[in-house]
């Protein structure tokens, strides 16, 4: 089965009396002065009442299904998709006797998940995918009360949702600082795997700032989480919430020792906006981005692979209006270093629309500043361009030392691409072919130098030191990126 990141309808398990090991000892080094056992029992006793089970239902739509109810589907079908066809069918849930009276008797069970109180007046954090599409949301507390909840706001991009039940005096979980988490530190999760309420599991922090999505640097752990754990808290040994359990990495569809949690500081930032306006507003540049590889950094004269390559600038966006160009490498945002593409996306998204920012970019071998006023990120973006039909190679044309035959672009084509020069590849062989170039590609730069014509490009290649990596800036079907070519290999 294809490896995938799987969002869970989910929770987690417990571990108590686990040995907290000190740092590894060099040979002959003295043993640490003390070791301690981590006992989660007291933490669980305090935290358990603030964790809730969430079940969602939907109203029947369409004709009667094979199970008898109108449009009804097996609520555990999702779980079998996670775990494969060999997992036996699970018993169908019976109608909940605690369900609020007067509700729609034709409601169809939709899924289960977890959540936790962040305020005494009933605000609960969970995952977007737990409540998305639900017609009704029911929250079960540890004292067996079941309350109806309403959605305050839900954000698909971060997978964070804020819901609320009516009442006061609810126990809430203290908020911790994910920035102080250390690799190897013990953490635990509480939730409702497979609907088994208030189940506890424990493990360690495996990695921090793991990039599995544009807007969130996840906390990676080996805490066991399964369908039903989603939305439940990840707690440190002091009982503070440091994350929201959200995803697993799996080849089988089930837990395989790697799980991911949304850092609680990121989730609180989103929930504050949801509470204030019911939606999340993010800064927007209007560009597509790629990573800077080691070969590209060396070829362009950067000290290390850092920043993000602008591969496309959308028309009539803040980036286009400010003069940001395809091929620019963004190195800093208002003085803050950009390590990679995901970090740039997060930095921009966390800035309020309408804010004026300064980007430091690498362009043609030099750094320069570009001032941009951010817009608000649109709900959805689509940018599609069709492929280009490459022209034929001139008669008797010979490939240059990189294995390329190129032709000048027409004035109309240059205008379409909004460039002054550039050449189009009509034949590829040798080192260029090994690098992944192909007919139809438009070459814009050669080692930081703008390509103006096919003759000038061939002259640049002839003068280049082919013992070193060559970096060309390529436009392919509207997307621009750097491609390293290793002539001597």
In sequence order, the β-bridge partners of residue 263 are 243
Handedness of CA 301, 306, 311, 312 (dihedral sign): negative
Which comes out higher in pLDDT, residue 312 or 37?
Answer: 312
Q: Please give the pLDDT value at position 60.
A: 66
Q: Residue range 126-146: average pLDDT?
A: 92
| Active-site residue, from 114, 192, 206, 230 | 230
Q: What is the pTM of this model?
A: 0.65
In the chain, residues under CATH classification 2.40.10.120 are 1-21+34-280
- Check whether 401 has a pLDDT greater than 60: yes
Tell me which of 3.50.50.60, 3.40.190.10, 3.40.50.2300, 2.30.42.10 is the CATH number of domain 284-376: 2.30.42.10
Categorize the per-residue pLDDT at 102 as very low, low, confident or very high, splitting at 50, 70 and 90.
very low
**Within its chain, how far is the Cα of 226 from the centroid?**
20
In the chain, residues under CATH classification 2.30.42.10 are 284-376, 404-485
Q: Please give the pLDDT value at position 201.
A: 93
The mean of the pLDDT values for the chain is: 80
Residues 68, 72: Cα–Cα separation, whole Å: 7
- Determine what percent of the chain is predicted with pLDDT higher than 70: 76
Is 159 tagged catalytic?
Answer: yes
| Active-site residue, from 114, 128, 154, 159 | 159
Q: Give every CB contact of residue 384 below 8 A, 6+ residues apart in sequence.
A: none
- Check whether 48 has a pLDDT greater than 90: yes
- Check whether 63 has a pLDDT greater than 70: no
- Rg of the chain over all Cα atoms, to the nearest angstrom: 28
CATH class as words, domain 404-485: mainly beta
pLDDT in tens, 4-28: 555 554 333 333 333 333 444 444 4
- Check whether 378 has a pLDDT greater than 50: yes
The domain made up of 1-21+34-280 is a member of CATH 2.40.10.120: yes
- Check whether 334 has a pLDDT greater than 90: yes
Categorize the per-residue pLDDT at 212 as very low, low, confident or very high, splitting at 50, 70 and 90.
low
């Amino acid at each position: 089965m294809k490896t995938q990141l799987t969002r869970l309808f989910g929770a987690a398990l417990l571990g108590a009396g686990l040995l907290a090991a000190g740092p590894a000892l060099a040979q002959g080094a003295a043993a640490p002065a003390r070791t301690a056992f981590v006992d989660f029992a007291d933490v669980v006793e305090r935290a358990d009442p603030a964790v809730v089970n969430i079940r969602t239902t939907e109203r029947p739509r369409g004709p009667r299904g094979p199970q008898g109810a109108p449009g009804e589907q097996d609520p555990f079908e999702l779980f079998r998709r996670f775990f494969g066809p060999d997992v036996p069918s699970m018993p169908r849930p019976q109608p909940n006797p605690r369900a609020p009276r007067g509700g729609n008797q034709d409601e169809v069970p939709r899924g289960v998940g977890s959540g936790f109180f962040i305020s005494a007046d009933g605000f609960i954090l969970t995952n977007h995918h737990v409540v998305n599409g639900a017609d009704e949301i029911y929250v079960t507390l540890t004292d067996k009360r079941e309350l109806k909840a309403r959605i305050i706001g839900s954000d698909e991009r971060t997978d964070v949702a804020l819901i609320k039940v009516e009442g006061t005096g609810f126990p809430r979980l203290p908020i911790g600082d994910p920035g102080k988490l250390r690799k190897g530190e013990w953490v635990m999760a509480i939730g409702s795997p497979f609907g088994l309420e208030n189940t506890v599991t424990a493990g360690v922090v495996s990695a921090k700032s793991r990039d599995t999505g544009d807007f969130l640097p996840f906390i990676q752990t080996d805490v066991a989480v399964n369908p039903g754990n989603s939305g439940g808290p990840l707690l440190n040994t002091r009982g503070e919430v440091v994350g929201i359990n959200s995803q697993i990495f799996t080849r089988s569809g089930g837990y395989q020792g790697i799980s991911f949690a949304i850092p609680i500081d990121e989730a609180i930032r989103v929930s504050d906006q949801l509470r204030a306006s019911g939606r999340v507003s993010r800064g927007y540049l209007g560009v597509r981005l790629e990573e800077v590889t080691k070969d590209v950094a060396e070829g362009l004269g950067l000290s290390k692979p850092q920043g993000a390559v602008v591969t496309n600038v959308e028309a009539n966006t803040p980036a286009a209006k400010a003069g940001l160009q395809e091929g620019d490498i963004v190195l800093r945002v208002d003085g803050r270093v950009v390590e990679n593409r995901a970090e740039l996306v997060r930095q921009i998204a966390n800035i309020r629309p309408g804010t004026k920012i300064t980007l430091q970019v690498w362009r043609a071998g030099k750094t320069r500043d570009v001032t941009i006023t951010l817009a608000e990120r649109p709900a959805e973006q689509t940018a599609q361009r069709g492929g280009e039909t490459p022209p034929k190679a001139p008669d008797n044309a010979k490939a240059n030392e990189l294995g390329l035959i190129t032709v000048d672009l027409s004035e109309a084509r240059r205008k379409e691409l909004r460039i002054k020069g550039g050449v189009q590849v009509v034949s590829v062989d040798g080192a260029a072919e090994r690098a992944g170039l192909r007919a139809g590609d438009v070459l814009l730069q050669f080692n930081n130098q703008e390509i103006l014509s096919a003759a000038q490009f061939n002259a640049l290649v002839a003068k280049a030191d082919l013992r070193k990596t060559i970096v060309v800036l390529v436009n392919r079907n509207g997307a621009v990126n750097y491609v390293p070519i290793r002539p001597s290999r």
